[in-house]
């Protein structure tokens, strides 16, 4: 995962207090009132824009963010969110302008490189099934970059754009437009490069003109026993499809958006929102406690759940004498320790007797957007289902084995 770096005010308004309590509807109404009462303030409009963006209401998000920029032309967060609206729409020229205005020069240069080309152009039959070469501890599949040799890719909704290994990117001649320092699991940091790939082929599906990120993936590949791992397929790629991570069927299913799918009577539909470019957020519970907002990040190998210290404290869980182990994340080696999860739910789907991992949850993420993310639900829970991400209806479908 890559943790955002939005700047928040030191003094919160009443509307921001509602947001911090995860009362989204009440907060949005309060931000509307605040914007009307203070016609020179831009921040209430930025919050309105982000809340609309999280629902994937791109028209309303653009309207509110444009109004915010009109009030405060140099508001970096407003420009960043405007860039995400344009990115989701596939308007990379406009997204590049907004990233430039936000001061993100490397990202802007990457997006401008697609001038005259349609980003995320899909060449595929209506439905494509890509088999996993491994399902546990995390799903791995095969793919090709720019029609070249076949390599392995990790499937991880905790990633945003397609991520390629830095060394592989250099060898393959992938254009690089600069980099930025980012925060990953365990609060570790690493430099992420920005580039562009001509195509990604998985099975019968080819996606052309992809913006990418570059990171040293060799330690992650080694920890998974996959020395040929050169990439991570993240949410920005899945967003272009009606995508199913079919854990029982050991495959990724990519359907064109709008395709009808068979559903089981035992399946559960879970509404979600998406902050920034890939933070899929849905409500769940931990150890039968109060509802929490979870980040649905499939890439936590060996565990079903991780969370900030405040969630563990509320549940009465202490590390005690539990042995600390090491794991690999995007930012490098991080410390982790196991704990028992008596009960975990996502929407109406519930499981018991799972394994949690303390340590990987970045403390910066808990209030990064002004509201509270209470945990990260991952592979150990999701792997019991065929998990379908519908970005048009903003629902996650969980069909059990």
pLDDT tens digit sequence for 148-184: 999 999 999 999 999 999 999 999 999 999 988 877 7
pTM for the structure as a whole? 0.94
Report the distance separating Cα 60 and Cα 306, nearest Å: 33
- Structural domain includes residue 3: no
Q: Are both 369 and 251 inside the same structural domain?
A: no
- Structural domain includes residue 261: no
Report the distance separating Cα 391 and Cα 242, nearest Å: 7
The rounded percent of the chain whose pLDDT value lies above 90 is 86
Q: Are both 321 and 383 inside the same structural domain?
A: yes
Q: Are both 76 and 158 inside the same structural domain?
A: no
Report the CATH number that the domain containing residue 126 is assigned in CATH: 2.40.70.10
Report the distance separating Cα 86 and Cα 98, nearest Å: 9
Q: Are both 313 and 392 inside the same structural domain?
A: yes
Number of domains in the chain: 3
Report the distance separating Cα 89 and Cα 82, nearest Å: 11
Q: Is the pLDDT of residue 66 over 70?
A: yes
Token pair, residue 179, equals 């980099």
Q: Are both 251 and 276 inside the same structural domain?
A: no
pLDDT in tens, 80-104: 999 999 999 999 999 999 999 999 9
* Domain with 324 in it: 268-400
- Please tell me the predicted confidence (pLDDT) of residue 303: 95
| Final residue before a domain boundary, out of 224, 255, 286 | 255
Q: Is the pLDDT of residue 321 over 60?
A: no
pLDDT in tens, 209-251: 999 999 999 999 999 999 999 999 999 999 999 999 999 999 9
Instruction: Give the angle subtended at the CA of 184 by the CAs of 140 and 397, to the nearest 5°.
Output: 50
Establish whether the linkage from the previous residue to 137 is cis, with ω within 30° of 0.
Answer: yes
Find out whether 203 and 130 touch, Cβ atoms under 8 Å: yes
Q: Helix axis angle, 92-101 relative to 76-89, nearest 10°?
A: 170
| Final residue before a domain boundary, out of 226, 255, 284 | 255
Q: What are phi and psi of 333, to 5 degrees?
A: -70, 135
Q: Are both 136 and 237 inside the same structural domain?
A: yes
């Amino acid at each position: 995962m890559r943790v955002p770096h939005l700047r928040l005010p030191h003094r919160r308004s009443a509307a921001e207090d509602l947001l911090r309590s995860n009362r989204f509807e009440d907060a949005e109404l309060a931000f509307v009132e605040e914007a009307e009462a203070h016609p020179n303030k831009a921040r209430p409009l930025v919050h309105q824009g982000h809340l609309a963006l999280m629902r994937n209401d791109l028209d309303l998000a653009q309207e509110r963010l444009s109004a915010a920029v009109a009030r405060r032309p140099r508001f970096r967060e407003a420009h960043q969110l405007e860039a995400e609206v344009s990115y989701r729409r596939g308007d990379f020229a406009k997204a590049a302008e907004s990233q430039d205005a936000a001061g993100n020069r490397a990202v802007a240069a990457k997006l401008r490189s697609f001038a005259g080309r349609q980003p995320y152009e899909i060449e595929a039959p209506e439905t494509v099934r890509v088999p996993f070469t491994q399902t546990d501890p995390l799903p791995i599949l095969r793919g090709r970059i720019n029609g070249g040799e076949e390599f392995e890719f990790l499937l991880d909704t905790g990633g945003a754009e397609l991520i390629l290994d830095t060394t592989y990117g250099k060898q393959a001649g992938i254009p690089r437009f600069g980099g930025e320092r980012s925060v990953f699991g365990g609060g570790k940091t690493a430099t992420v490069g920005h580039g562009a790939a001509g195509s990604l082929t998985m099975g019968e599906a080819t996606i052309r003109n992809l913006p990418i990120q570059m990171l040293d993936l060799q330690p992650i590949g080694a920890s998974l026993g996959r020395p040929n791992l050169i990439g991570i397929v993240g949410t920005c790629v899945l967003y272009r499809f009606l995508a199913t991570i079919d854990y029982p069927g050991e495959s990724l299913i990519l359907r064109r958006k709008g395709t009808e799918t068979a559903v089981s009577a035992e399946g559960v539909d879970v509404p979600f929102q998406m902050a920034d470019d890939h933070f899929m957020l849905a409500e769940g519970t931990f150890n039968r406690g109060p509802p929490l907002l979870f980040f649905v990040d499939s890439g936590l190998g060996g565990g079903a759940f991780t969370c900030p210290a405040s969630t563990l404290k509320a549940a009465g869980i202490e590390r005690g004498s539990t042995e600390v182990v090491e794991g690999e994340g995007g930012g490098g080696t991080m410390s982790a320790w196991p704990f028992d999860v008596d009960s975990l739910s996502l929407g109406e789907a519930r499981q018991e007797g799972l394994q949690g991992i303390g340590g990987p949850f970045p403390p910066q993420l808990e209030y990064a957007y002004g509201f509270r993310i209470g945990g990260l639900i991952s592979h150990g829970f999701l792997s019991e289902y065929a998990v379908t991400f519908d970005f048009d209806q903003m629902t996650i479908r969980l069909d059990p084995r």
